[in-house]
């Protein structure tokens, strides 16, 4: 396994790699959710490239960039055990040299939900993904379904700018009690960790309603709010049922839909979602 930190170095080596190339962009501090992405990439690619880069431009000024958890040596061991071919781990100075001034902006979807709560977040995500896609030039890039709005933003960018890769969303990996795996779960103390599972319970309840034939979206959103509201350590940001491509609130459930939820548990912000289908 090669560990590379320079862009020119990676581009020079790239011409020797067997195709298809599968890219798994991560911010490190890897958990089983990341491993699921890597395994899927491994199955479908001749060369698997995992990037580890805590991207400063997708964090707001009051967010957790400085204390975002890092465990580089452990991450490298995990990726080695998964037979990854290349780890790309650039510094911020390599990715954003002095004078950097180009941004990729996906309008519309980025004004809703996570985009509304975290201004600039998706601009940072779209820009860093554009860069990583150009640097690695993969046939496919793999993202976790847990960050469903991120997946939708990146798919829209790829489509609008005619980029030459496919975006694959990999199902969310969950803890035993249903909590979606996230590097930010490390921030939770004992009682918070127990309370956090309420997001999964709320989403599951809505999925059950849907499977039982309910198509009343107000009732379903209220159900999520009520369940989350029962946990006093958890403060809801939003609970809604949306179109999975546009993240617009849906008016009918004839088409595929996604139940989404975001909440703060202590000072930690968590998001989760569940597709609605029978």
Write down the least CB distance from residue 165 to its own copies, Å: 10
Write down the least CB distance from residue 148 to its own copies, Å: 18
Q: Is 34 a catalytic residue?
A: yes
Binding segment (CB under 8 A) for its own copies, from list 46-54, 128-136, 170-178, 222-230: 128-136
By CB under 8 A, how many residues form the interface with its own copies? 27
User: Is position 100 an interface residue for its own copies (rule: CB under 8 A)?
Assistant: yes
| Residue 163 or 253 with smaller CB distance to its own copies | 163
CA 52 and chain centroid, separation: 14
Write down the least CB distance from residue 154 to its own copies, Å: 10
Q: Are 79 and 32 a contacting pair, CB within 8 Å?
A: no
In angstroms, the CA 159 to CA 155 distance is 6
In angstroms, the CA 181 to CA 174 distance is 5
Which tokens belong to 63?
């967010």
Write down the least CB distance from residue 100 to its own copies, Å: 5
Write down the least CB distance from residue 88 to its own copies, Å: 12
Q: Which one among 1, 3, 5, 11 touches its own copies, defined by CB under 8 A?
A: 11
Taking alpha carbons only, the member of 77, 95, 97 closest to residue 87 is 77
User: Is position 261 an interface residue for its own copies (rule: CB under 8 A)?
Assistant: no
In angstroms, the CA 42 to CA 23 distance is 10
User: Is position 72 an interface residue for its own copies (rule: CB under 8 A)?
Assistant: no
Q: Are 22 and 49 a contacting pair, CB within 8 Å?
A: yes
DSSP, res 250: P
Q: Are 82 and 46 a contacting pair, CB within 8 Å?
A: no
In angstroms, the CA 26 to CA 68 distance is 13
Which tokens belong to 167?
């975006």
| Residue 72 or 103 with smaller CB distance to its own copies | 103
- The dihedrals phi and psi of 150, each to the nearest 5 degrees, come to -60, -45
Q: Which one among 49, 52, 76, 109 touches its own copies, defined by CB under 8 A?
A: 109
User: Is position 15 an interface residue for its own copies (rule: CB under 8 A)?
Assistant: no
| Residue 104 or 188 with smaller CB distance to its own copies | 104
- Lay out the site mask for its own copies across 145-184 (x = CB under 8 A, - = otherwise): -----------xx--xxxxx--------------------
| Residue 118 or 155 with smaller CB distance to its own copies | 155
| Residue 110 or 172 with smaller CB distance to its own copies | 110
In angstroms, the CA 110 to CA 101 distance is 20
* Count of beta carbons in the 10 Å neighbourhood of residue 201: 16
**Contacts with its own copies in 185-224 (CB under 8 A)?**
none
Write down the least CB distance from residue 132 to its own copies, Å: 8
- The dihedrals phi and psi of 83, each to the nearest 5 degrees, come to 60, 35
Taking alpha carbons only, the member of 254, 236, 257 closest to residue 246 is 257
Question: Catalytic residues, which ones?
Answer: 34
The residues that touch its own copies, with contacts defined as CB under 8 A, are 7, 11, 99-109, 126-127, 130-131, 134-135, 137, 156-157, 160-164
């Amino acid at each position: 396994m090669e560990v590379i930190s320079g862009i020119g170095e990676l581009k020079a080596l790239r011409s020797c790699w067997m195709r298809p190339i599968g890219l798994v962009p991560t911010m490190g501090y890897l958990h089983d959710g990341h491993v699921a992405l890597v395994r899927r990439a491994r199955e479908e690619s001749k060369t698997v490239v995992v990037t580890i880069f805590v991207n400063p431009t997708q964090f707001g000024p009051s967010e957790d960039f400085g204390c975002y958890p890092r465990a580089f040596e452990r991450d490298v061991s995990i990726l080695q055990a998964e037979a990854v071919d290349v780890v790309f781990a650039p510094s911020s100075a390599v990715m954003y040299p002095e004078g950097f001034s180009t941004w990729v902006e996906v309008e519309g979807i980025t004004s809703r939900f996570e985009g509304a709560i975290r201004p600039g977040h998706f601009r940072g995500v779209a820009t860093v993904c554009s860069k990583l896609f150009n640097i690695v030039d993969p046939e496919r890039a793999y993202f976790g379904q847990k960050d469903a709005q991120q997946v939708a933003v990146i798919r829209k960018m790829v489509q609008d700018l005619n980029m030459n890769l496919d975006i694959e969303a990999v199902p969310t990996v969950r803890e035993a009690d249903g909590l979606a795996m996230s590097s930010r779960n490390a921030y939770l103390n004992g009682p918070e960790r127990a309370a956090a599972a309420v997001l999964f319970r709320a989403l599951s309840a809505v999925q059950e309603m849907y499977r039982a034939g309910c198509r009343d979206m107000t009732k379903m959103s209220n159900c999520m709010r009520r369940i989350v509201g029962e946990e006093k350590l958890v403060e809801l940001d939003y609970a809604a049922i949306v179109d999975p491509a546009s993240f617009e609130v849906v008016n009918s459930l004839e088409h595929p839909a996604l139940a989404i939820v975001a909440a703060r548990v202590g000072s930690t912000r968590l998001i989760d979602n569940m597709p609605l289908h029978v």
